[in-house]
Amino acid sequence: MQTRVTEILGIQYPIIQGPMAWLTNAEFVAAVSNAGGLGILGPNAGQTTITRDPQETAERMRREIQKVKALTDKPFASTLVVDYDLTYTWPILQVVIEEKVPIVLINGILDERIFTPLKEKGIKIVYRPGNPTIADAKAAEDFGIDIYVATGFDEGGTVPEKIIGTFSIVPMIVDAISIPVMAAGGIGDVRGVRAAFALGAEGVFAGSVFLPTVESPAHQSVKEKIVNATAEDLLLFRTLPAYYRSLPTELVHQIVERDQAGASREELAKLQNGGVGMFKGMVEGNSQEGFISVGTGITPIKAVRTVQEVVNELMADFK
């Protein structure tokens, strides 16, 4: 069974793997695409060190793109995190065009300077704002994006500002625009997929469910923690720009205590240490200095599986 998502992206199943910052690499992304979904290279894909140089960041992405192309002939995507002055965005955009990546995921800002060259090259655009709203969805449709991802408060990572759950945000956005909408946040098994489609979504965008897989670059201890946890274990705290949630770690307990004591969002964000905290917690398995960001859909995840097994289970109705 085809949906507009599968037709637009040229994939077998209407499922996209979330980019998850440090937690993707070529092998993982190719596994998702080979399983019939859309694998996406996230920011810092395949990297184990931090660089602040925009050109080096872009060249690292180029090398990872080339690795993906050697591992699959299926469609895949790269992430474009749009910053206001395009310091990091523009070099990566040039790499995406030069390497003929067929699809991009744009996180964040609608910027005509980015959309024009993408459209001119025929690159498909999946747009996922940090804070989905009706106004934003209509603006994105006017910009000519191909697919809109509606993310609910159930997600892992940087949680939206408005406390609207996935299964409330999806029908709200579906009713506002005519382009296909994908559901993101809290989808951990085929029941979540069925619910998303019942509410009008034409695909699902999932991150946490792919973390405890054989191919995932997440630390083995993190995979085991996810498998053994439920949504009841998650801790939520304020940060910039809004909220974050994590499985318990020493760092997260400290942040929650400071949050409850009335620390500012700026203070909490500094303590969280952004991408560094994620790298330490989820790639290195350092529960003292890092955090483990997952969504509320982790409860039904009961084993470390292959990417193919995850896709098969989530997409059971489409096989």
Q: Is the pLDDT of residue 39 over 90?
A: yes
For β-strands 124-128 and 103-107, DSSP reports them as: parallel
Average pLDDT of span 312-316: 98
Please report how the helices 307-314 and 190-198 are oriented relative to each other, as an axis angle in degrees rounded to 10: 40
**Could you report the per-residue pLDDT of 52-72, keeping only the tens digit for each?**
899 999 999 999 999 999 999
Strand partners, 149: 182
Q: Is the pLDDT of residue 223 over 90?
A: yes
Average pLDDT of span 203-231: 98
Looking at residue 120, its pLDDT comes to 95
**297 near 186, Cβ under 8 Å?**
yes
Q: What does the alpha-carbon distance between residue 15 and residue 25 come to, in Å, rounded to a whole number?
A: 18
**Could you report the per-residue pLDDT of 102-159, keeping only the tens digit for each?**
999 998 788 989 999 999 999 999 999 999 999 999 999 999 999 999 999 999 988 9
Q: Is the pLDDT of residue 274 over 90?
A: no
Q: Kindly state the tokens that stand for 295.
A: 């969504």
273: left (phi over 0), alpha (psi -120 to 50) or beta: left
Taking the complete model, does pTM exceed 0.85, yes or no? Answer: yes
Domain assignments of the chain as residue spans, ordered by start: 4-216+298-318, 235-293
CATH of range 4-216+298-318; options 3.30.70.980, 3.50.50.60, 3.20.20.70, 3.40.50.300: 3.20.20.70
**80 near 105, Cβ under 8 Å?**
yes
Looking at residue 85, its pLDDT comes to 87
Looking at residue 84, its pLDDT comes to 83
Q: What does the alpha-carbon distance between residue 42 and residue 24 come to, in Å, rounded to a whole number?
A: 6
In terms of Cβ atoms closer than 10 Å to its own Cβ (0-12, 13-18, 19+), residue 125 is: buried
Q: 86 Cβ partners below 8 Å, 6+ apart?
A: 111, 113, 114
Which band of pLDDT confidence, cut at 50, 70 and 90, is reported for residue 314?
very high
Which band of pLDDT confidence, cut at 50, 70 and 90, is reported for residue 51?
confident
Q: Is the pLDDT of residue 1 over 80?
A: no
86: left (phi over 0), alpha (psi -120 to 50) or beta: left
Q: What's the mean pLDDT when you consider all of the chain?
A: 96
Q: Is the pLDDT of residue 292 over 80?
A: yes
Residue with tokens 């003292």: 288
Q: What does the alpha-carbon distance between residue 20 and residue 43 come to, in Å, rounded to a whole number?
A: 8
Looking at residue 239, its pLDDT comes to 95
Distances (CA, A) of 149 to 6, 204, 206, 315: 14, 8, 11, 18
Cα-Cα end-to-end distance for the chain: 8
Task: Please give the order of strands across the beta sheet that includes 158-159.
Answer: 158-159, 243-246, 235-238
**Could you report the per-residue pLDDT of 85-106, keeping only the tens digit for each?**
899 899 999 999 999 999 999 9
